[in-house]
Structure 1
Amino acid sequence: MSQTSETVLEIDLAALEHNYNYMRSKIGASTKMLGVVKAFAYGSDSVKIATRLEKLGVNYFAVAYTKEGITLRKGGITKPILVLHPQSSNFEEVIAYNLMPNIYSKYTLNTFITTAEKLHQKNYPIHLKINTGLNRLGFSIEEIDWIVNKLTTTQSTKVEGIFSHLGASEDTAEKDFTLLQIKNYQKALDKILPQLAYKPICHLCNTSGIINYPEAHYDMVRTGIGLYGYGNSAKEDKNLIPVGTLKTLISQIHHIKKGESVGYNRGFIASKNTKTATLPLGHADGINRIYGKQKTSVLINGKLAPIIGNVCMDMLMINVTNVDCNEGDEVILFGKEKSAEEFANNAGTISYELITSISQRVKRNIIN
């Protein structure tokens, strides 16, 4: 990695390839892999990430919203793209860009069939979402007969996939809940599959499900956070490489006397003479106020320096009293040398929130 002269999110595609191959090693040769590239590919660059994954052989992609799928299509991505939370107002665009909608309710199924028939579609592929306990999106098992009856009234759609989502597959304390979700999913399949004249793709496992519940891999697995270098446990994190490294530099160094304050609302008051550094990024860049007041630290020249006071919109300040550093020196907030999981956990949040929050005004630098 090169010394930075500005705030930048360095995206390492070699790390992505390593993570992809590791997740592949956890599944059978015939099991398909879906790469989740929603939210700008977890805060990085969805087109660059998807392009590399497509070359590596990923079978499917998933995004949250229709606009994200359109971005991938315009970026040259040709593999199937599942839209996990489509809105009915976007169904015509879904079809226009050859995206696959997640159909999760009677309303969305009725609306999509109406749209597909209006556009003279035949056997347009959809995925059905089954609610197995997360209680966020999805049909209940009791609605399956209604679904099948509805599908038999039209030739406009065809079920490409049936899936659900595990809510706590990384949490060993919630193993019974996860096993219940798997059981509920299988109950749904046992009810719906005999009523179809074809076999859809069945998929349930997320990253932690892939690692912890190999018996539930079915026809396809979905991996998001694992691709970006985080395995939801310290053990698995060692097998993965963070794809993104957020780097900046020291803009100015101050020598603060005992009793003086730093930042808005005097968020830090020096208990002794203190050396501080100001960095050119803040909550408008995704480093939110929750990270201030010494809850977490950054890395400078191999040493940790806590964030002090209140994070500003465009700047934050750190305590570098015990760090040998100068203006212009590089600062790492998270990445290979300092985990986003650690940075986030120290402030009471999770790596998912941190890495997906990095603002689009932060320059993305693609390497490897």
Structure 2
Amino acid sequence: MKPSETLLEIDLKALEHNYRFLAAKVKENVKKMAVIKAFAYGSDSVTLAKKLEALGVDYFAVAYTQEGIDLREDGITQPILVLHPQSTHFQEIIDHCLIPSIYSEFVLNHFITSAEENQQHDYPIHLKLNTGLNRLGFDPEEAPMILEKLKQTSSTKVDGIFSHFAASEDPKEKEFTQHQMDTFKKVSEKIIAHLGYAPLRHLCNTSGILNYPEAHFDMVRTGIGLYGYGNSKEIDQQLIPIGTLKTIISQIHHIKKGESVGYNRMFKATKDTKIATLPLGHADGINRIYGKQKTHVSVNKHLAPIIGNVCMDMIMIDISGIDCEEGDEVILFGKEKSAEDFAHNAGTISYELITSISQRVKRKIIP
């Protein structure tokens, strides 16, 4: 059946396939954390969380506190790690039984205060170590300070210790990745020795799972892999993109040589040309970088370039030589034409494209 509007179809069977593929790469006793931040990478976080919970995922991770609250309010019961909490949200974190990532002395001090004010005992936290990404995390030399502050309170307990690879997908950065592994292992072992118990250690992202089995530790995190992308062509062939962005042809125009299309007349026909207008634009996540013939959409299995400037609510494509009519389906990305290919041609990455799909685009769940 042809779509009658712009849709993002979300295939839960593809999600299951990807989860099982990645889970098979780790030992049975290694826990799995599903990263479902940013509306589950632009899809539907609650629907995906419920499916993954049914599949047996052990933990979830979100970026911000409200994302975790939304999951809790929709019935998700598994542990949820908030990767980038702000101190102003610690009361909400405690109220909704979320686990904060503690990444600085400022954050540690404020969370201990909040936990004590709420009369908490052994409230779970995860310590974030900076091993070279230089984004968030305690530097290795801060370990004694962390231990001293934790020793002075019974309000919190370290449930996990983690860090993040900077380039686990890049074989040219293997030496740097090995340095990160060594640093993480050394600092985490020091912390564990002083704690007297062993929190969960996790370091691997999707590419880490696939490329560095020696770094799986107690738990692995997977984000982009769940959604069908593995940061290499070989792995992409074994994963299935869960999202297919579809739209329709709203109108067809026949323009003559020398006529222009769209804002700023960015496309000028060098010959008589047949074009189509589609009902989505940069307000839907198809940003201006995809215009000016940098990438293509699929019309009846033929590639048609996006021409001119992308508008807020519309894009125009060149359909010269393609047998199609108004109301026909157009696929921007999906299983056969991947978001990685669509994004790469415009000089960006699949992560940016799929997480940009606006919430005004209707989601259709394929069970």
TM-score in terms of structure 2 length: 0.99
> For residues 194 and 9 of structure 2, what CA distance do their matches in structure 1 show?
49
Residue 99 of structure 1 aligns with which residue? 98
Residue 154 of structure 1 aligns with which residue? 153
Residue 249 of structure 1 aligns with which residue? 248
Residue 11 of structure 2 aligns with which residue? 12
> For residues 190 and 203 of structure 1, what CA distance do their matches in structure 2 show?
13
> For residues 242 and 212 of structure 2, what CA distance do their matches in structure 1 show?
25
SS in 2 for 1:175: helix
Residue 52 of structure 1 aligns with which residue? 51
> For residues 69 and 322 of structure 2, what CA distance do their matches in structure 1 show?
47
CA offset digits 1:71-94 (Å, max 9, x no partner): 000111000000000000000000
SS in 2 for 1:127: strand
SS in 2 for 1:298: strand
> For residues 321 and 95 of structure 2, what CA distance do their matches in structure 1 show?
58
Instruction: For 1:268, give the aligned amino acid.
Output: F
> For residues 21 and 123 of structure 1, what CA distance do their matches in structure 2 show?
33
Residue 140 of structure 2 aligns with which residue? 141
In structure 2, the gaps of 5 or more residues are none
Residue 62 of structure 1 aligns with which residue? 61
Residue 199 of structure 2 aligns with which residue? 200
5 Å-filtered alignment, 1:173-322, equals 173-322=172-321
CA offset digits 1:185-212 (Å, max 9, x no partner): 1111122111012110000000000000
SS in 2 for 1:310: coil
Residue 361 of structure 1 aligns with which residue? 360
> For residues 20 and 168 of structure 2, what CA distance do their matches in structure 1 show?
21
Instruction: For 2:221, give the aligned amino acid.
Output: R
> For residues 108 and 146 of structure 2, what CA distance do their matches in structure 1 show?
8
> For residues 344 and 176 of structure 2, what CA distance do their matches in structure 1 show?
24
Instruction: For 2:2, give the aligned amino acid.
Output: Q
Q: CA deviation at 1:322?
A: 2.1
> For residues 355 and 44 of structure 2, what CA distance do their matches in structure 1 show?
11
> For residues 172 and 187 of structure 2, what CA distance do their matches in structure 1 show?
25
> For residues 294 and 170 of structure 1, what CA distance do their matches in structure 2 show?
29
Instruction: For 1:321, give the aligned amino acid.
Output: S
CA offset digits 1:242-261 (Å, max 9, x no partner): 00000000000000100000
Q: CA deviation at 1:268?
A: 0.3
> For residues 297 and 211 of structure 1, what CA distance do their matches in structure 2 show?
30
Indicate whether 1:351 and 2:350 are aligned: yes
> For residues 13 and 198 of structure 2, what CA distance do their matches in structure 1 show?
36
> For residues 123 and 8 of structure 1, what CA distance do their matches in structure 2 show?
45
In structure 1, the gaps of 5 or more residues are none
> For residues 285 and 189 of structure 1, what CA distance do their matches in structure 2 show?
43
> For residues 215 and 303 of structure 1, what CA distance do their matches in structure 2 show?
44
Instruction: For 1:122, give the aligned amino acid.
Output: H
Q: CA deviation at 1:3?
A: 2.2
> For residues 216 and 146 of structure 2, what CA distance do their matches in structure 1 show?
24
Instruction: For 1:106, give the aligned amino acid.
Output: E
SS in 1 for 2:252: strand
Q: Which runs of 4+ in 1 moved over 4 A?
A: none
Q: CA deviation at 1:213?
A: 0.3
> For residues 117 and 339 of structure 2, what CA distance do their matches in structure 1 show?
47
Count of aligned pairs between the two proteins: 367
CA offset digits 1:39-81 (Å, max 9, x no partner): 0000000000000000000000000000000000011100000
Residue 80 of structure 1 aligns with which residue? 79
Deviates more, 1:249-258 or 1:177-186: 177-186
CA RMSD of aligned residues (A): 0.5
> For residues 10 and 267 of structure 1, what CA distance do their matches in structure 2 show?
31
Q: CA deviation at 1:28?
A: 0.3
Instruction: For 1:187, give the aligned amino acid.
Output: K
> For residues 338 and 179 of structure 1, what CA distance do their matches in structure 2 show?
35
SS in 2 for 1:35: strand
Indicate whether 1:166 and 2:132 are aligned: no
> For residues 293 and 155 of structure 2, what CA distance do their matches in structure 1 show?
57
Instruction: For 2:38, give the aligned amino acid.
Output: A
